[in-house]
Amino acid sequence: MRKRVILLLSVCWLFWAGPSHADEPAERISAYVDRVLKAFQNSDICETDCASSPELKKTLRDLGNEIFDFRIMSRMSLGHHWQKLTEKQQNEFVDLYTRLLETNYFGKIVEHFEDIKGYSSDKVRVVDETVFSSRKAEVKTVIQHEGEHIPVDYRLVLRNGDWKIYDVYVEGVSLINNYRKQFHEILVKKTAQEMLQSLREKVQKNPDAKQ
């Protein structure tokens, strides 16, 4: 439960952040955190019925597309199975996977909105930055949660002048690795087309799924 809330907090900050620029990676993550905390603290949305707020849903979708590189995340989440998909299947998978992430995390934001809104900047610290190359970097942060200090690391790639998030590690556990394991278990039993059909059905069942 604790790890779920921390991961939610980590991803929510990124969904709520403003457009990114080619600042240093640590500066960009710090800006993400500051802006999202202010957005939650200054906003009165979701005071009564968060699930019925179309503005919140649109904000999450629009900003998520600005901040995450969903194509890289999709490719990494499928691992070697990515090459088995046709180009058309790859494009559809990126779309469905993006919508699945949006749906999953929006639901958790609704569930834990008050927890997120109650956070302040003194509970989040950027502690280290490692630039692996001109295009890859990692920013380490620590979140104070219920008296403990939880490490949350962000992996970033520089794409078209913007730093994009392609993975989040909570206490050393990768978001992408979790999805890769799930998709691998599916694809050793089902064809790519069957896997895509399952994703279509999951997305279509949710009334908030983007059309």
Domains and CATH numbers, the chain: 2-205 (3.10.450.710)
pTM of the model as a whole: 0.76
Alpha helices by DSSP H, the chain? 2-16, 25-42, 54-67, 70-78, 87-117, 175-187, 192-205
Contact 8, 120 (CB under 8 A): no
Length of the chain: 211
| pLDDT value for 66 | 73
Residue 38 is which amino acid?
K
Specify the pLDDT at position 102. 79
Name the strand (E) or helix (H) holding 170: strand 162-170
Instruction: From first to last of the 211 residues of the chain, give the pLDDT tens digit.
Output: 555 555 555 655 554 444 444 468 888 777 766 666 665 555 555 555 554 556 656 666 766 777 789 999 999 999 999 999 999 999 999 999 998 887 776 556 556 556 666 666 667 778 888 988 889 999 898 887 777 888 889 899 998 888 888 998 988 889 899 999 999 999 999 999 999 999 999 888 765 555 4
What is d(CA 155, CA 174) in angstroms, rounded to the nearest whole number?
10
Q: Is 10 within 8 Å of 170 (Cβ atoms)?
A: yes
Residues 6+ apart with CB under 8 A from 102: 60, 61, 64, 210
pLDDT score recorded for residue 164: 86
Query: What letter would DSSP give residue 42?
Result: H
Question: Distance between CA atoms of 134 and 211, rounded to whole angstroms?
Answer: 36
Number of C-beta neighbours around residue 189 at 10 A: 8
Q: What is the dihedral of CA 31, 37, 41, 44, to 10 degrees?
A: 90
Three-state DSSP string of 25-43: HHHHHHHHHHHHHHHHHHC
Task: Determine the pLDDT at residue 78.
Answer: 97
Q: Whole-angstrom Cα distance, residue 28 to residue 165? A: 11
Residue 76's CB is within 10 A of a number of other CB atoms, namely: 19
Which of 119, 149, 67 shows the shortest CA–CA distance to 141?
149
